Amino acid sequence: MKVLIARLNHETNTFSPVPTPLSAFGPDGPTFGEQAYRDNKGMRTAMSAFIDLAEAAGAEIVTPVSASANPSGPVDAAAYDLLTQCIVDAAPGCDALLLDLHGAMVAQNSPDGEGDLLRRLRQALPGVPIAVALDLHANVTPAMVDNADVIVGFKTYPHIDMYETGEHAGRLMFEKLAGRREPVTRWHALPLMAHTLRSASFTGAMQRAIDAARAAEASGTLAASIFAGFSLADIEAPCMSVIVVDDSAEKAQATADRIAGQIWAEREQFIYRSEALADSVARARKMAEGQSRPVLLLDHGDNCMSGGSCDTMDVLQEALAQGLDGIGVGPLCDPEAVAQLIAAGEGAKVTVALGNKVSLAGIGLSKTPVVLTGTVRSICDGDYIISGPTYTGQRSSMGRTVLFDIGAARIVVTERTQEPWDLGVFTCTGLDPRTERFLLLKSRMYCRPVFGPISAGLVECDSPGVTSSDYSLFPFSKVRHPVFPLDLAAA
């Protein structure tokens, strides 16, 4: 038995000014063949689970590519063509395909990156089983459902069950190959653009939806997945959906319809209402009184893992204006400032124009860099190993990195955008984040499993940027109407 196993992950924010060239797919770009295998073997990705299952089955394994990029703007056409063609070219002669995909990829030449890939694979290998593991934030499309035999999505956000999802999808595929199962996939799409901050799996309506999916599986359903969708994409349906895999089409559809009905009844609970930024910062200041641990300021309006530029200064400016001090900030992406600070050298006092340099004209915003004076405390390569629970053991690189101390704040300034999913974003510069009064993190959710336990609490700060929760900032033109909450009539 010959099995193709590949990984291609990108969550596309079509409003993001951050480009997505081929080099964005990994610390050093994508990896191919044997190196793609080594990059995943022993890790906690869905692809690593596929590898373990295939090896246990004694299969010959083909790993054409492993490519994962942080969320950003549409994938460059040339990069999309190369990565997808690599998978298609390796498929002939394979008895099964196991794909670790995201589900919300938009390329310059494809509004449905995963659907178009799966359609090509199905055309090339009619009858060959295809199993797919998807991110919880997948924007599922008809092409994905029509061209895959098994689809299973993450059940956690922050995502800590990537391996388990791959094991689930792969196990169903190998049962199909052995003739023990004949899985059928059914789908229920909802006209509901959920906010990412309402898709956390540990609270609220999303937790209840996932609990319903788990209960269905406990009762015998082969797989039930809730997809929150990724609404910051101007495509036809950046919306929630439910996919169920079962032994019969009727059972699968009935389960999907039932869970979708529950979600729709609670649709208002999937919408996030932001408070004013000044109020958020004032609340954080009050929360920090008498505390020995830092308070987290989560700048989710400029979140790297939703396509943010990682360089807006609104939250820091507001914090400084309100007199906050003892602020650890990071990471802030400004390659120009990094070069200037490195040229000055460690210990130098420097005045630098920082942040607000990436154009946000696509959403009608214009910002000016903030001139700050401070001391260069340290310079490093910005590399660290993620301790988990997300992407455990993987190397992460922020590019050349500087710790810039302006007195009230110590700012980690980097060459590359980076999600603060590990203490390493600070400790690689020599800064212990536990010693700060506040930690300003450009994050929605991934920081929480790591920074939450060391903090006194957190405050969500919605700054104006390309990952804001304020839908009125975004000029949606391709979304199919009616849709909730853009159209209240959808209620």
Among 270, 296, 331, residue at a domain's last position? 270
In a domain? residue 491: no
Q: Are residues 281 and 194 in the same domain?
A: no
Q: Are residues 297 and 241 in the same domain?
A: no
In a domain? residue 482: no
Q: Are residues 109 and 140 in the same domain?
A: yes
18 HSE (CA, 13 A, CB side): 31
Residue 133: what residue type? A
Q: Are residues 251 and 294 in the same domain?
A: no
In terms of residue numbers, what domain contains 345?
277-468
What's the rounded mean pLDDT across residues 33-45? 95
Question: CA-CA distance, 461 to 472, in Å (whole number)?
Answer: 17
In a domain? residue 490: no
Give the DSSP letter of residue 323: T
Q: Are residues 242 and 154 in the same domain?
A: yes
Question: CA-CA distance, 299 to 306, in Å (whole number)?
Answer: 12
What's the rounded mean pLDDT across residues 364-372? 96
Torsion sign over Cα 296, 297, 301, 304: negative
Question: CA-CA distance, 240 to 221, in Å (whole number)?
Answer: 20
Question: CA-CA distance, 222 to 180, in Å (whole number)?
Answer: 12
What's the rounded mean pLDDT across residues 441-465? 94
The pair phi, psi for residue 301, each rounded to 5°, is: -80, -10
What's the rounded mean pLDDT across residues 40-59? 96
Q: Are residues 160 and 141 in the same domain?
A: yes
Q: Are residues 99 and 161 in the same domain?
A: yes
User: What integer pLDDT is reported at residue 10 of this predicted model?
Assistant: 98
Across the strands, what pairs with 2?
Answer: 60
User: What integer pLDDT is reported at residue 489 of this predicted model?
Assistant: 52
pLDDT in tens, 415-431: 999 999 899 999 999 99
pLDDT band for position 127 (50/70/90)? Answer: very high
pLDDT band for position 491 (50/70/90)? Answer: very low
Give the DSSP letter of residue 454: G
Among 242, 270, 298, residue at a domain's last position? 270
Torsion sign over Cα 482, 488, 489, 491: positive
Task: Find the distance separating the first CA and the last CA of the chain, reported in whole Å.
Answer: 50
In a domain? residue 481: no
Q: Whole-prediction pTM value?
A: 0.92
pLDDT band for position 389 (50/70/90)? Answer: confident
User: What integer pLDDT is reported at residue 56 of this predicted model?
Assistant: 97
pLDDT in tens, 198-240: 999 999 999 999 999 999 999 999 999 999 999 999 999 999 9
> Measuring CA to CA, which residue among 166, 128, 157 is closest to residue 49?
166
| Secondary structure (H, E, C), 407-443 | CCEEEEEECCCCCCCCCHHHHCCCCCHHHCCEEEECC
Among 239, 270, 301, residue at a domain's last position? 270
Q: Are residues 241 and 339 in the same domain?
A: no
Q: Are residues 191 and 339 in the same domain?
A: no
What's the rounded mean pLDDT across residues 25-30? 90
In a domain? residue 120: yes
User: What integer pLDDT is reported at residue 9 of this predicted model?
Assistant: 98
Q: Are residues 196 and 328 in the same domain?
A: no
pLDDT band for position 28 (50/70/90)? Answer: confident
Q: Are residues 257 and 344 in the same domain?
A: no
Please name the residues in contact with 184: beta carbons below 8 A apart, sequence gap of 6 or more: 245, 246, 247, 248, 249, 252
**Residues in the chain, how many?**
491
What's the rounded mean pLDDT across residues 279-301? 97
In a domain? residue 429: yes
User: What integer pLDDT is reported at residue 394 of this predicted model?
Assistant: 79
Q: Are residues 266 and 350 in the same domain?
A: no
> Measuring CA to CA, which residue among 490, 313, 283 is closest to residue 411?
313
Reply yes or no on whether the pLDDT at 286 is more than 80.
yes
In a domain? residue 478: no
Task: Please count the structural domains in the chain.
Answer: 2
pLDDT band for position 373 (50/70/90)? Answer: very high
pLDDT band for position 438 (50/70/90)? Answer: very high
Q: What percent of the chain has pLDDT over 90?
A: 93
Q: CA separation (Å) from 46 to 133, 153, 206, 226?
A: 7, 10, 22, 17
In a domain? residue 486: no
